[in-house]
Amino acid sequence: MQEDVCAEAGVPATVADRFTVEGKGRGVAYSENIRSVTDSLEMCKTVARQKLGLPANVVGILKAVTGREWTKQDLVKIGERKVNLERLFNLREGLKPSDDTLPWRVLNEPLPDGASAGSVVKLEPLLDDYYGARDWDRRTGWPSRKKLAELNLEKDRHD
């Protein structure tokens, strides 16, 4: 099942390797898009992730509730639009790319033992991959004009 979701999202199978950056940005973006939809539907994340085979079965739920036809791609696009709209709001309120970070300890204190002993999170390459997957400007944090037009949000850009 996980391989199917990865392929559907355009995420390489190597994403499961905890030491690689490749595909992690796209994987996180796809997951955020789906979670954004399930949050809007007030669905339990655990149940949605474990039992519903997202986004395939959510399409059936939405059809049953609304009587309207939906596709998996519709759900992903709705989630992507919502995530980008939230990003625009946060940028308007002063968010900067430097705010996209993790706790100091995760970035600076190597793990003492286990399979990842000696590792710290290398955040910059992960952010580069994520911003690229989102089509956000790495310097400003803003979604590209092309992305905003694709999501019908171009009038919301105020830079």
CATH number at residue 49: 1.10.599.10
Model-level pTM?
A: 0.85
Give the distance from CA 5 to its chain's centroid: 14
| Ramachandran quadrant class, 22 (left: phi over 0; alpha: psi -120 to 50; beta: rest) | beta
Supply φ then ψ for residue 75, to 5 degrees: -65, -45
- What token pair was written down for 153? 């949000």
Task: Name, in order, each residue with C-beta under 8 angstroms of 77's C-beta and a sequence gap of 6 or more.
Answer: 33, 151
pLDDT by 10s per residue, the chain, length 159: 455 666 777 788 888 888 888 889 998 998 899 888 888 888 777 766 655 456 777 788 888 888 999 888 898 899 999 999 999 999 999 999 999 999 999 999 999 999 999 999 999 999 999 999 999 999 999 999 999 999 999 875 555
Q: What pLDDT does residue 154 have?
A: 83
Pick from 70, 77, 78, 66: nearest CA to 40: 78
Give me the domain span that covers residue 100: 2-156
- The residues pairing with 143 across neighbouring beta strands, listed in sequence order, are 136
Pick from 144, 159, 130, 141: nearest CA to 98: 141
Pick from 141, 43, 133: nearest CA to 99: 141
- Give how many domains the chain has, as a whole number: 1
